[in-house]
Amino acid sequence: MAQNPETQHNLAYQMVQASTALTFGGSLSVLSGLTLTAAIICLTAVTPLLVIFSPVLVPAAIAMLLLATGFFSSGGLGVTAAFCVLLAAQLCSRKAPSWCRTGLISWLQNWRGGHQGPSSAVRSAPRKWFTR
């Protein structure tokens, strides 16, 4: 029984796909095995050095951790401060978003003692939130 040309083309395409996948899969498996072997050999060679130098490395690692923690926390606090300054500048120029302007300005007016009544956004909040 003769196969039509389309079936032969599909079969050839599938064989090329399978051989390519097998080649790449085998190559990557060999490379991953070599990498694992190299990592184990390096770890075995470096372990005595880590034990010998641990009195220096442990405090250095702790210092680096504290340094990184301080760096990232100062960056986060700086971004927060910049956002607060930007929001305050927008409030002073009356360009703040409405959600901020209605709630915060009403809260500040009530806190200062100026009584213009709470806005509709703040009217539903308990009155004790706005007393000193």
pLDDT of amino acid 85: 87
The model's pTM is 0.39
H or E element at residue 47: helix 5-52
pLDDT of amino acid 80: 93
The answer to whether the CB of 91 falls within 8 A of the CB of 101 is yes
| Residue numbers in the chain where pLDDT is lower than 70 | 1-3, 5, 94-132
The answer to whether the CB of 81 falls within 8 A of the CB of 63 is no
How far apart (Å, rounded) are the C-alpha atoms in residues 132 and 112? 9
How far apart (Å, rounded) are the C-alpha atoms in residues 33 and 127? 69
The answer to whether the CB of 118 falls within 8 A of the CB of 110 is yes
pLDDT of amino acid 10: 83
